[in-house]
Structure 1
Amino acid sequence: MNSPDVSALEITSSQACRVALRGPELIIEAANKAFVRSAGRDGFLGLPGWEAFPELRGQGYLELLDQVYRTKKPFVGLKMPILFQPSKGAPMEEHVTDFIYRPIEDGSGHVTGVFIESYDRTEWARA
């Protein structure tokens, strides 16, 4: 079963943070406004995820993306803690997120990337 195409409308029309990564290098190809706001920065399109967000190294998220790309198996994370730098030079902040990483496949069933949809649940988790 092939994954549906990830259209520009699907990426941009949501309150959820949405990102499309392409190729085994997981290059950031597209991101919606919610993601840009959450990231607190821009200029990451065309960069590998690890380069655009080096603070994620060692937290396991980049390894999970690679696993989804290699295995074609989606990954769902619920109430996952993540340390994130909201802007360059800012201190790290801990957030809680729900997310899904799902493979993007071409018409032949080959994985061409990974689609991320995430929701910041930090306020909910603190309540």
Structure 2
Amino acid sequence: MNRRLDIEVGVAYGSDPAQVVALLKRVIAATPDVAQHPEPTVLFLRLGASSLDFSVRACTHDFSNWANVRSDLMTRIYAALNEAGIEIPFPQQDLHLRSVSEQAAAMLATPRPTADES
């Protein structure tokens, strides 16, 4: 019995999609208990709000242990992205203030100490 493993991965804008796809395919091929038939697939899904989003679709023949196989694959993906210097971003938003009180403006204008100065 096969069990399909679906993993979505978001990487930072500026990453090379071809490099990400190749890296994910290498990780899939090197992960024990991930079946090579049916052939695993890596798809570039979308230009997300904070990331370039990819999908890893693979199978395992170890149906009763699929959660551990998926966990191992995810751990290996994270390590490979980290080693390659490919960032996994977190959502960010810019805040544009139309108006603030004088006190708030003064606080915003005051330089804050850096970690070295603390």
What is the TM-score normalised by the length of structure 2?
A: 0.25
Bigger helix share: 2
Q: Which has the higher contact order (CA 8 A, sep 6+)?
A: 2
What is the TM-score normalised by the length of structure 1?
A: 0.24
